[in-house]
Amino acid sequence: MVSSSLSTNNESKESLAGVIELPEDDPDILIRFLQFLYTGNYEDGEYPTQDMPATEAIMDADEIRRELQYAPGVLTGGLSGESQDSSLRSQIQSIANDIDEKSDGDYEISSPSTEPDEEYLSGLEDEEADEEDNSEGHEYVESRPVNLFIALRVYVMADKFGVPSLKLLARRRFYNTARKVFHTYSEFPAVVDELYETTAPTDYTIREIPCRLIAASYASNASNTIDFEALMCD
């Protein structure tokens, strides 16, 4: 009864004042959340929006739901045994190749280039989980800020308020940036900490991203693997 009364009083105060209090939410992230609701995109200083809605903002709801069911860059369904193991090795090798091919200058953030096996393609044409980055087809310049924290926090807020299209956009940005900079970005361990602190234990599609990237780093035998391991241990 008391709880109900307090809730009613709070709602009455908000109605009278014309203000909704969101004390737990970061104002900077809330601004980006509202920007997406009004424009279909959000600015983060890393990905140019070109004043256009993101692809995710105009995707079909069922398509968004399918995309969110699987981790970025992971081919799913229909494989078992040796075929599944082979597919997983291909996925890891794809990310590993990205690490090996990273140049000293500018580089482009692109979608995972894993090619599904023929048996996977048969009967699964409508289930593409390759995270093709249609909305972010821009060159990534190292001088731009790395905004993994922003992408993660936007994702968490989109999940909190139930905006699947924004969840998908934020997750794609998080993944596309992380797969390029995770082994050199000094704040990546802090990003991982926040990721596991602010997302639900069942939200494996974003929580397993660091694990897959680290596995790919080891698979590539990259020269920076030892340094990265020490960084994560710190």
Is the predicted pLDDT of residue 56 greater than 70, yes or no? yes
H/E segment holding residue 77: none
* pLDDT tens-digit readout, 67-107: 999 988 654 443 334 444 555 556 555 655 665 555 444 44
Give this prediction's pTM: 0.65
Other CB atoms within a 10 A radius of the CB of residue 229 amount to: 12
**Residue 153: CA count within 13 A, CB half-sphere:** 17
Q: What letter represents residue 216's amino acid?
A: A
At residue 24 the predicted structure's pLDDT band, cuts being 50, 70 and 90, is confident
Mean pLDDT calculated for residue range 224-234? 55
How is residue 40 written in tokens? Answer: 């279909």
Of 54, 73, 75, 192, nearest in space to 127 by CA: 75
Structure confidence at residue 127 (pLDDT) = 33
Is the model's pLDDT at 226 over the cut of 70?
no
Average pLDDT, the chain: 72
Contact of 179 with 213, CB cutoff 8 Å: yes
Residue-wise pLDDT tens digits, 147-194: 999 999 999 999 999 999 999 999 999 999 999 898 889 999 999 999
pLDDT of residue 145: 82
